[in-house]
Structure 1
Amino acid sequence: VEVMFENVQVPVENVLGDVGGGFKLALRILNSGRFAMGASGAGILRYLLAYATEHALSRIQFGQPIGQYGAIRKKLAEIACDIYAMESMAYLVAGLLDANPTRDLSLEAAAIKVSFH
Structure 2
Amino acid sequence: MDYVARFVETALDEQGDIATRDYLRLFGDAVARHVPPYFLADYGNSFRSHIENPVWVLQSLVSNAIKEGEGSRDLAKIANACTSAGLVDDLSQHVEDEAGHCRMYLRLADLVFPDALPDSARGR
Identify the TM-score tier after normalising by the shorter chain: 0.3 to 0.5
TM-score w.r.t. length of structure 1: 0.43
Flag the structure with higher helix content: 2
Compare CA radii of gyration and give the structure with the larger one: 1
TM-score w.r.t. length of structure 2: 0.41
Q: Which has the higher contact order (CA 8 A, sep 6+)?
A: 1
